[in-house]
Structure 1
Amino acid sequence: MINTRVIAPAPGAYSYPLLIKRLLLSGVRYQPGQEIVYADKLRYTYTTLMERIQRLANVLVEAGVKPGDTVALLDWDSHRALECFFAVPMIGAVLHTVNVRLSAEQIRYTMNHAEDRLVLVHDDFLPLMEQLQGELQTVEGFIRFSDAEPCATELPVLGEYEALLAAADSQHEFPDFDENSLATLFYTTGTTGNPKGVYFTHRQLVLHTLNELGTLAACGGEPLLRSGDVYMPITPMFHVHAWGVPYVATALGIKQVYPGRYEPNQLVRLFREEQVTFSHCVPTLLQMMLDCEEGRKTELDGWKMVIGGSALTQGLAARASARGIQIYCGYGMSETCPLLCLTSLSREDLALPLEQQVPLRINAGVPIPLVDLRIVDEQGHDVAHDGESLGEVVVRAPWLTQGYLKEPEQGAALWAGGWMHTGDMGCINHRGVLQIRDRIKDVIKTGGEWISSVALESLISQHPGVDSVAVVGVADAQWGEQPLALVVCVAGVQLDQKSLAQHLQQFVDNGSLNKWAVPRHVRFVDEIPKTSVGKINKKLIRETHAL
């Protein structure tokens, strides 16, 4: 550390902490009458949002929540979840967004590991909480969310959310405190061992929000999210703060539409009726919305969609683009809050025919400001930025988790050498664009060569008869591993391995695929296994489809 010149502040100068409460100021200031919408059930203004957050803070304090306590949230995407995103951290407590799609055993583990004290729970998850009640070691009470008439429960419920808010004081003075205080906590959905707790501070969330706000508003080539847009998340709010966009949308003061439980037809209806212009989701949900009844009959023009969480195939991207959706890709992970990279298109790119834009839109993108990103070999040395040389993606940014909760050894492995290790293999081309080729654990090693399962999936997806595809490596006595492809066919279409090999031959002929990488093992299935957040579950595929 070098010696620099530091000047002491004037007496009485205010040291401005970066706290989540600051993100509320501009939205209500500039757009007090703008709407917050909860599915087809409720709508209110930003002025009401501010009041409800203050009422919720008073409810939490009355329930005994103190600074440093952890409050669990089990809900679908709703206005209530948005209120919790602010009120819980703003009183100095920590918000634990519980992944409601985990198994009961995993949820029990995460809630005990987080030491949740108070639980805010939707009626849909009351049976789960009743099942786990005797095993939740630190929970002292529950507040229930009801969309209909509350049903009976054996839980020690402090009250129903709306009734408690209505009875609470509408004013609350949110204090200043250390900006490095923990604000949020959630658990990764790893494929081995128990879920790991990832945590973020007020400072990290504010910096991520401001950076994401600027990046989305000034995205290369065309803006994605500005004051005139309408936002609807299609990535669960329990997963990486819905990519942090609810904080961005609230800071902008734009109309926000929260869909509740994800149902493809309802999502498309809300898009159409509420005039949504910006969303983010995983490829699985994009495909479900394109294939559902409402999706087939609705004009989707003007819907800007950022895809992340898992690789977007060229075939699916082409289908969505042909329907009028403006496709972009973002790259990040649970540990990175999450945004690291975003599609960046030049004016020249945007002037290209749509079919030529699609390959550019499905790359991981360019690192956003304040992100230091490297591609390194096994010795930690940088590889060439030639679009071909592969290595692990390692990163630094001011909003990355600093470890795993109560797991110092795993945290140290995550940060080995002072860089966060993503576990992703990628390359960077001459334009600075990152391409993720595979997870290190998913790359297929055959005869001393590497095959990217992601690249194979994208090529197979371009067959007009393929609805979806997953590729994994399976053990092979001669070559070490061989690629195995699971293929779901378009309804009414029958494919066989020969027709798939003939489709892939064009990529062998043009040099984009090695002949030995064409899968010799193809299985046609009705459905591809997914994880709790909609990613392809390759671990389960390897276990259940071993040769």
Structure 2
Amino acid sequence: MQSDLTELTPSAYTYPLLIKRLLHTPLMHAPNQEVVYRDRVRMTYSKVYERIAQLANGLTKLGVEMGTTVAVMDWDSHRYLECYFAVPMMGAVLQTVNVRLSQAEIAYTLNHAGAEILLVHTDFLPVVEAIKDKLESVRQFVWISDEGDERSPHTIPFSGEYEGLLASSSSSYDFPDFDENTRATTFYTTGTTGMPKGVYFSHRQLVLHTISVMAALSSPESEQRFHRGDVYMPLTPMFHVHAWGMPYIATVLGVKQVYPGRYIPDQIVKLVRDEGVTFSHCVGTILHMLLNCAEGKEADFSEWKVVIGGGALTQGLARAALDRGIDVFTGYGMSETCPILTLAQSKPGYASLEIEDQVAIRCKTGLPVPLVELRIVDENMQDVAQDGSASGEVVVRAPWLTQGYLKNPDASEQLWEGGYLHTQDIARIDRAGYLQVTDRIKDVIKSGGEWVSSLEVEGLISQHPGVAEVAVIGVKDEKWGERPAALVVRKMDGTVFVSEEEIRQHVLTFSEKGTISKYAVPQTIKFVDALEKTSVGKLNKKWLREKFAETDSGG
């Protein structure tokens, strides 16, 4: 049977979902709202829009047109926010360069994306100086400077400086309409094997992600919300999947936005205090640093809501944050998913639960946000029971998932095998509908014929008052195949000094209660000064497994 398509009146406007649409509402109801960069810049939304137009005109002078890729290397700033809008609104493609990659990886991503224009902050001039002769497509460079910056010695042939480019350009630009499926952004994943892979997102995808996540964040009764009365500051780098898409959401809502520049813990805490920041998102490592830096130890965080992603929110960190008044909860997604898929928000009535139960809910991976179709499947793509115990791989469909890896058809087909995007995460779903990721497929520990979740064991160990951070990895064992080993960073505040045996006994109590298997109790516990992280702050389990491969399991 043929579909009954709606009739299109010749004069009707079909309204393509383009990023420029996200600016209509805030410019109407919050034109005088502030966008702040550190203690250096303060401007209104109206001024930001003028600068977006100036940037578009300036880039046009440099030859940017439909389809041109413009790459950015900057700290989190008002400039980055302007690029989030101006570049894709021109019909060009914004490449957000991961400045924490190696020089060789940065050169690879710029070449692979075909970037023609590179905007680069003073702090990254040495990197660009080192790789400029290896760049195949970049034809023009624009210098980004903070006031008072001095360019280090270099031979980079700059076409101009960012502020000068804007100052010499008109503040009026007629942003065109075009197909909403036009590619808007490109970002490169930070896997631990091989070169980074490019993911890409269209205007339609970014607009739908913005609307759906905004709806999810505004839906709870009271806590774990993001609304028009909030003050927003990202603590996830803006190069990393659009800072989880949150700057777009913040802009639509017309809230005050604060951009911290380079992440310096004491300065971030001062911004939270001085600018009245109430909503942020980050990896657990950042929150841990903020709670324990000099300024953070005495700060009032009672109005602050923080979403933790990029790794599990441990119950130890959640409790520490709640004790300081922080409304903390989990968000989940991947570079490939734009990224948000789930949020660990409480359902109505949950506020009356005991604190331990509330902490457990906040640390779950969460409930799918609107329009996300999420399944847990076995190796045959068959659904497993949603009973809180059966595990399988998380596969998803949503309007905003990357449709493939840039110029990599084989990896793209593997990503989308069976018509669902494969996350490579092992998880279960409980009867209340909450997802709980228990491990990456490559990180799961197989001991004594059972699967041991490294994330669950990490969560239990983190609850010990003497533990600051922990990573659990599998090490070879002749008898059991693998056994879990715990790598622990002690708290250094002098309040508690924890030993190997105390941690082992701490985990053993959960095994005796039936919370975890006896195979999950680590026999090997090593104290380390720090845990290796990836460029976006996740635990680098591959590196840790390689470094501690010969660790005695204590079988």
TM-score over 0.5 for the pair: yes
Q: Distance in 2 between matches of 1:430 and 1:221?
A: 23
The residue aligned with 2:381 is 380
The residue aligned with 1:489 is 490
Note the C-alpha offset of 1:225.
1.2
Q: Distance in 2 between matches of 1:311 and 1:113?
A: 31
Q: Distance in 1 between matches of 2:141 and 2:394?
A: 42
The residue aligned with 1:203 is 204
**Cα RMSD over matched residues?**
1.1
Q: Distance in 1 between matches of 2:283 and 2:223?
A: 22
1:518 maps onto 2:517 in alignment: no
Q: Distance in 1 between matches of 2:514 and 2:35?
A: 51
Note the C-alpha offset of 1:201.
0.2
SS in 2 for 1:486: strand
1:31 maps onto 2:34 in alignment: no
The residue aligned with 2:329 is 328
The residue aligned with 2:130 is 131
The residue aligned with 1:368 is 369
Q: Distance in 1 between matches of 2:10 and 2:517?
A: 69
The one-letter amino acid paired with 1:115 is G
The residue aligned with 2:407 is 406
1:504 maps onto 2:504 in alignment: no
Note the C-alpha offset of 1:220.
5.8
SS in 2 for 1:53: helix
Give the alignment's TM-score, normalised by structure 1: 0.98
The residue aligned with 2:540 is 537
The residue aligned with 2:345 is 344
Note the C-alpha offset of 1:223.
5.6
Q: Distance in 2 between matches of 1:475 and 1:197?
A: 34
The residue aligned with 2:359 is 358
Note the C-alpha offset of 1:347.
3.2
The residue aligned with 1:7 is 6
SS in 2 for 1:475: strand
Contact 1:220 1:344 in 2 (8 A): no
The one-letter amino acid paired with 1:517 is A
Q: Distance in 2 between matches of 1:286 and 1:95?
A: 29
The one-letter amino acid paired with 1:94 is V
Q: Distance in 2 between matches of 1:211 and 1:166?
A: 36
Contact 2:224 2:329 in 1 (8 A): no
Q: Distance in 2 between matches of 1:264 and 1:464?
A: 22
Note the C-alpha offset of 1:463.
0.8
SS in 1 for 2:35: strand
Q: Distance in 2 between matches of 1:266 and 1:7?
A: 55
SS in 2 for 1:116: coil
The one-letter amino acid paired with 1:361 is R
Q: Deviations over 1:226-269 (max 9, x none)?
A: 11110000000000100001001111111000000011111111
The residue aligned with 2:423 is 422
SS in 2 for 1:293: coil
SS in 2 for 1:430: coil
The residue aligned with 2:553 is none
SS in 1 for 2:426: strand
Contact 1:221 1:347 in 2 (8 A): no
SS in 2 for 1:499: helix
The residue aligned with 2:251 is 250
Contact 2:228 2:253 in 1 (8 A): yes
1:293 maps onto 2:294 in alignment: yes
Note the C-alpha offset of 1:352.
2.3
The one-letter amino acid paired with 2:101 is L
Note the C-alpha offset of 1:348.
2.1
Note the C-alpha offset of 1:337.
0.4
Note the C-alpha offset of 1:448.
1.3
The residue aligned with 1:49 is 48
The residue aligned with 1:107 is 106
Contact 1:387 1:428 in 2 (8 A): yes
Q: Which 10-residue stretch deviates more, 483-492 or 211-220?
A: 211-220
User: Where do 1:454-473 residues align within 5 Å?
Assistant: 454-473=455-474
Contact 1:221 1:350 in 2 (8 A): no
Note the C-alpha offset of 1:429.
0.5
The one-letter amino acid paired with 2:346 is L
Note the C-alpha offset of 1:343.
1.4
Contact 2:331 2:344 in 1 (8 A): yes
Q: Distance in 2 between matches of 1:219 and 1:242?
A: 22
1:156 maps onto 2:157 in alignment: yes
Q: Distance in 1 between matches of 2:354 and 2:430?
A: 22
Note the C-alpha offset of 1:221.
5.1
Note the C-alpha offset of 1:361.
0.6
The residue aligned with 2:218 is 217
SS in 1 for 2:473: strand
Q: Distance in 1 between matches of 2:298 and 2:354?
A: 25
SS in 2 for 1:532: coil
Q: Distance in 2 between matches of 1:361 and 1:109?
A: 38
User: Where do 1:245-324 residues align within 5 Å?
Assistant: 245-324=246-325
SS in 1 for 2:349: helix
The one-letter amino acid paired with 1:536 is L
Contact 1:302 1:325 in 2 (8 A): yes
Q: Which 10-residue stretch deviates more, 474-483 or 453-462?
A: 474-483
The residue aligned with 1:92 is 91
User: Where do 1:141-152 residues align within 5 Å?
Assistant: 141-147=140-146, 148-151=148-151, 152=153
Instruction: Tell me how many residue pairs correspond in the alignment.
Output: 546
Q: Distance in 2 between matches of 1:22 and 1:177?
A: 12
Contact 1:445 1:482 in 2 (8 A): yes
SS in 1 for 2:55: helix
Q: Distance in 2 between matches of 1:318 and 1:90?
A: 42
User: Where do 1:67-86 residues align within 5 Å?
Assistant: 67-86=66-85
Q: Distance in 1 between matches of 2:223 and 2:482?
A: 43
The one-letter amino acid paired with 1:500 is I
The residue aligned with 1:479 is 480
SS in 1 for 2:116: strand
The one-letter amino acid paired with 1:523 is K
Note the C-alpha offset of 1:364.
0.8
Q: Distance in 2 between matches of 1:319 and 1:222?
A: 17
Q: Deviations over 1:16-57 (max 9, x none)?
A: 110000001111110111000001111000010010000000
Contact 1:51 1:170 in 2 (8 A): yes
SS in 2 for 1:265: helix
Note the C-alpha offset of 1:344.
2.4
Contact 1:367 1:373 in 2 (8 A): yes
The one-letter amino acid paired with 1:339 is I
Note the C-alpha offset of 1:150.
3.8
1:527 maps onto 2:530 in alignment: yes
Q: Which 10-residue stretch deviates more, 420-429 or 477-486?
A: 477-486
The one-letter amino acid paired with 1:530 is K
Is there any run of 5+ residues in structure 2 with no aligned partner, and where? Answer: 551-555
SS in 1 for 2:272: helix
Identity %: 57
Note the C-alpha offset of 1:7.
3.1
Contact 1:39 1:260 in 2 (8 A): yes
Note the C-alpha offset of 1:224.
1.4
Q: Deviations over 1:293-325 (max 9, x none)?
A: 111010110101111110111111100110000
The one-letter amino acid paired with 2:21 is R
Q: Distance in 2 between matches of 1:306 and 1:223?
A: 8
